[in-house]
Structure 1
C-alpha cells in the first residue's frame, strides 16, 4: 500500500445498498405474513399527487365530451353524463399501472338494442373529440389516445400517465344506454325490476348476454362504496397478484373483476379479524377458491332478486350453469367468471404454487390455515342450489372439498 494513502476506517459502518431507484422491489412471495399490510401500504398505494392531477384532467375530458359530442347534429342524441369506474381513485388504484372505465351515457335512446346500433357512430364521435381536445388543451399528466387494432371494437382507449412518477391509468371508453337515468323512479340502491326484465328480454333476444353491464357501472361503484378500507386494500393485493400472474403466464386469464368479487365474497364470509396475519389468511383463502374454481357458484341479490317471475326463471337458469359462475352483482346476464376454462386452469395452478410460500407462514414457520366457512352453509357437490331466503345478500358457492 502506498504510504501516502489514507487507511480505511473499518470501525464505521458503510452503506453499500444500491440507490433507491435501483433497489429490487419487495417480493410479495417472501413478505412475512405479519407484514402484509405494510407491503400494501409501501408497495401498492398509488401516488396521491398523480391521482389529484388525473381527477382534474378527467373533469376536463368529461366536460368536453358532454359539450361537444353531436352538437349541431340533426338527431336528438346527446351525451347525458360521463361516469367513471374501475381503478381510478385513491380507493382502488394501484401504484404503477391501473385500468379504469369511462362510460359515456347518451340520452334519447329507448333500448339496449339501440346502444348496439349506435355504438360505431358513438365511438367515432368520441374519438374525434378526444383528438381535438388533445390538440387544444394542456394536461396536467401525459394524455395518449390508443388506436384500436380491432375494426369492430366496442370501446376505445386513452392513457393518462406520469413517467416521472412511473404511474399510469388506462381508460376503456364505452358508450352506453342511460337506462338508470331513464327510469325516474329508479335509484342507486334499488332499480325497478322492470329494468332487469327489459335487460333479460333484450339480451336473450339479441344473444348478447353480459354485454350491457356497463350501463350499471354506478351500481358497481356503489357495491363497493361504503366497504371497509381494509377490504379495498385486500382487493389491491389480489389485483397485484393477478398482474404478476399475467406477466408470468403471458396467456389470456379470467377477468380481473372475477377475482375482485371473490375477494368481496371472502371478506363477507369471514370474521372481522384484526390479527396481524388476517390479511395474509384471507389472501390465502382467495387463492384456495381460485384453485377450486370448478365448484364456484357466487351471486348477490342486492339489486336484483327472484322477483318478478321472468327474472326468477332466468336467474335460476344462470345458477345451474356449468361452473365457475360468478354473477355480476348488478347484471344477472353477466357471468364474470367467463368461459375461459384454460385460463382458469392456468391461474389455478399458479395459485396452488403460491399456497406454501413464506408469505403464508406464521412466525414459527408453520403454514396458516385458510378462513373457516363452516358457519356459512355450503351445499354438497352436485346438489341443487339452496332455497332463496329473504336476505339482502345471498351467495351460494358449491362445496369445495377439503374446506
Structure 2
C-alpha cells in the first residue's frame, strides 16, 4: 500500500493540483488555450477541438435523451418510464405489511460509477471538477456559507460530545459492535437459512455463489447490516445473454420469494438493472439485513491465473457500458470482501465508528441538493484501513487517536492518493493508465485497478468541512497525537 501524491505533468501548489482552462468572453461554449480553441458540450462538460466534433458528439451521446429527475441519469426519452419503473418505484411499507422502520438507504449500484463531476443541485455533468464547481457557484450560488449550512447536521446521538476515551469505547462495545452470544448465533443461523432459501428459489442452476456486504466482512452494527449475494449460473451463455435474461430472472426470483414461507419477513425494495433487493427482519425482529441478490455470468472463475486476471481488467477498462461494468465487477466481490475481512477486530470497530460519524454528522439531502453523493461505505472502509496501515498496523490502539487521524485526512482530501498492489502490478498498463488520469482524492480499489472509489462522491468539500467542525468538538479537545499516530503531526 502506498500513500503519496506524485506530480502530474504540470506545476505544484503544495499538494493540491488543478489545471484551469480559462473561458473566453467571445462565446459561452468555447474555450481557448494558447492558440487552440476548444468547444464545450453544455450537456456533459467535455471539450472538443471543432464544432464538427462537438456536433458529432452531441448526436452520438445526447440526441433524443433526457435527464431522469430522480437520479440525474441520461436515458432515451421513450424509455424514461421503463427506467423509472425499474429503478425508482418502491413498494410502500403498508402494501408489503412491513412492521419495522426502513433501514438506511444503500448505494444505488453494486459498484458505484457516477463521477464526482456531476452537480449537487441539478442533473448536469461536467468534464472536470473545476467546471462543475464553477457551475455550482454561478448557477446555484453555492457559496462557502451555503455549503456549510447544507452539509452540517450533528444529530443528538453523535459521539462528538463525549469527554474521554472510556465513553467512546463503551459506546462502541454497547451500541455499535454486534452482541455476541445466543442472539449472534441465532442471527447467523437465520441469515444462512435465508441464503439457502434464495438458492432454492433461484430459477436457474447455480454454479457458484459468493457472499459480501458488511455482515460477511464483519463491519456490521447491532441494528443494521447488508448482505450481497452473487449467483453465477452456467445457464448464461455469455455477457450479452446474461444482460438479456437478467430482468426475467430477477422478476422470477422475486415472485418465488414472495410465495415462500418466509414472505412475511421479507420486504421487497427497489429492483435495479442487475439486482433484486429486499429487507429481511432477523431474530425476534431485533434488527434487519438488507439483501442485494445479483445473478451473473461467471467471467472470472473461482481461481483465475494472473494472466487471465490482467485480461479481465483490460476488458473492464475498455468497456463503456455502465451496466456491463456492473456485471464485470461482481466477479471481483470475493477479493474486495477478503481485503476488508482480513482486518483486525479493532480496525473493524474503527470502521463502525467512522460510519456512525457519517450517519450522525451530515445534514440530510433536501430537494435543493438531492443530487449530492457522500462517499460510499466501501470508500470509508478503505480509508480506515489505509490510515491503520500508515500507523504500522498496530494490534491495540486508541479509537480516539484513529478517529482523529481519519478526520484530519478527510480535511486534506485533495492529498489522498492510496494504492494497493495485491491483485495488480504497478507495472501493468491498466494501472499506469488509471493512475495517469487520476482525479483527487484517489483511492484505487484493491481488487480493481480501473476503479477510483472516490469518484462516486461529488461532496468531498462538504466532508472536509464537517470533519473540520468535528475536530473542534469536546471528544478531541486537547487530544494530541501519540505513538503510532505521530505522522499526523506533519498534517
What is the SS of the residue equivalent to 2:172? helix
- Check if 1:196 corresponds to 2:310: yes
How many residues align? The count is: 327
Q: Which of the residues 58, 65, 68 maps onto 2:191?
A: 58
Which residue of structure 2 aligns with residue 125 of structure 1? 252
Contact preservation (8 Å) 2:445, 2:453 = yes
What is the SS of the residue equivalent to 1:101? strand
1:274-326 deviation per Cα after TM superposition (whole angstroms, max 9, x unaligned): 777x211111111122222222221211122246xxxx122112122111221
- Check if 1:32 corresponds to 2:146: no
Distance 2:423 2:316 in 1: 18
1:345-389 deviation per Cα after TM superposition (whole angstroms, max 9, x unaligned): 22221111101212123xxxx2323887887xxxxxxxxxxxxxx
- Check if 1:229 corresponds to 2:229: no
Distance 1:196 1:50 in 2: 43
1:260 deviates by: 0.8
Gaps of 5+ in 2: 1-154, 367-371
Q: Which of the residues 329, 333, 338 maps onto 1:217?
A: 333
1:227 deviates by: 2.2
- Check if 1:368 corresponds to 2:463: no
Higher relative contact order (CA 8 A, sep 6+): 2
Which residue of structure 2 aligns with residue 325 of structure 1? 442
Distance 1:159 1:355 in 2: 35
Distance 1:90 1:198 in 2: 24
Change in Cα spacing, 1:162 to 1:62, as seen in structure 2 (3 Å) is closer
Which residue of structure 2 aligns with residue 336 of structure 1? 453
Which residue of structure 1 aligns with residue 274 of structure 2? 154
Change in Cα spacing, 1:50 to 1:216, as seen in structure 2 (3 Å) is farther
TM, length-normalised to structure 1:
0.71
1:242-273 deviation per Cα after TM superposition (whole angstroms, max 9, x unaligned): 22245645643121211110000001110455
Once the two structures are overlaid, the 10-residue window that deviates more, 238-247 or 366-375, is 366-375
Which residue of structure 1 aligns with residue 173 of structure 2? 41
Distance 1:169 1:178 in 2: 26
TM, length-normalised to structure 2:
0.59
Which residue of structure 2 aligns with residue 179 of structure 1? 299
1:49-76 deviation per Cα after TM superposition (whole angstroms, max 9, x unaligned): 55434433333333333334335xxxxx
Gaps of 5+ in 1: 1-23, 72-77, 376-399
Q: Which of the residues 361, 372, 378 maps onto 1:257?
A: 378
Change in Cα spacing, 1:279 to 1:56, as seen in structure 2 (3 Å) is same
- Check if 1:304 corresponds to 2:424: yes
Q: Which of the residues 254, 260, 270 maps onto 2:391?
A: 270
1:213 deviates by: 2.4
Distance 1:292 1:169 in 2: 34
Distance 1:115 1:199 in 2: 19
Change in Cα spacing, 1:306 to 1:110, as seen in structure 2 (3 Å) is farther
What is the SS of the residue equivalent to 1:298? strand
Contact preservation (8 Å) 1:88, 1:100 = yes
1:90 deviates by: 8.5
Distance 2:481 2:297 in 1: 46
Distance 1:104 1:314 in 2: 28
1:134-176 deviation per Cα after TM superposition (whole angstroms, max 9, x unaligned): xx3478xx3322244xxx5332211122596652221222222
Distance 2:248 2:483 in 1: 49
